Amino acid sequence: MGLANKKGMIMSARQVGFTSLDEATVEDFAIMHPLMAAEHAGLADRVLKYLELLKGADLGLRVDRYVHSLQTATRAHADGADEETVVVALVHDIGDLLAPDNHGAFASEILRPFVSDQNYFVARHHPLFQGYFYFDKVGKDRDARERFRGNPAFQATADFCEKWDCPAFDPQYESMPISAFEPMVQRLFARTPREFD
């Protein structure tokens, strides 16, 4: 079985025999699968850890993106959003550092196996829908979201931005602590994932 080392990495006591995947045996997969499952079980922890990388840089905003994330999630929670949606709100900007030009796609793909098609769409397209509230100030079309009009997730995405994401730049707003969201994140990523190729 595997052991987690100090960095939380799953280290194996046994290794496979193959050096090319097409030579792998059933026994090889019997070695790997429990280790992969153990690593998968750490997904929520890794998401929470990565979220912390949003601390610090404020880009001139009055809150940093970590506070913005907590505030978006708190606003969703306060409005009675279901737990899945609250977690989407918490992690919707988690891709800001690694995928600044397509951060909605980044977050949505992390969430996708564990959330509804609607919440996948919300995470995926929130940057464009958020644009409704400011694109006209930066020379872009604030109605760009209209190309998704008619999509069943259109209104949920518009509401997500209007009620929770857009106003979540307020330094006076009192957010729930991350500890309040941690069990929600753990429960979401403990769901049986849907499979995608």
The site for Fe ion (CB under 5 A) is made up of 93, 165
Q: Give min distance, CB of 169 to Fe ion, in A.
A: 9
CB 185 within 8 A of CB 44: yes
Residue closer to Fe ion, measured from CB, 16 or 166: 166
Nearer to Fe ion, 118 or 130 (CB): 130
| Strand locations in 25-111 (E) | none
CB of 153 within 8 A of CB of 122? yes
DSSP states along 38-58 = HHHTTHHHHHHHHHGGGSS--
Q: Are 133 and 144 in contact (CB under 8 A)?
A: no
CA distance 95 to 108: 9
CB of 65 or CB of 188, closer to Fe ion: 65
Q: How far is the CB of 43 from Fe ion (least distance, A)?
A: 21
What's the min distance (Å) between Cβ of 148 and Fe ion?
Answer: 16
Nearer to Fe ion by C-beta: 2 or 95? Answer: 95
Q: How far is the CB of 92 from Fe ion (least distance, A)?
A: 6
Q: What is the helix (H) or strand (E) element at residue 66, kind and residue range?
A: helix 65-78
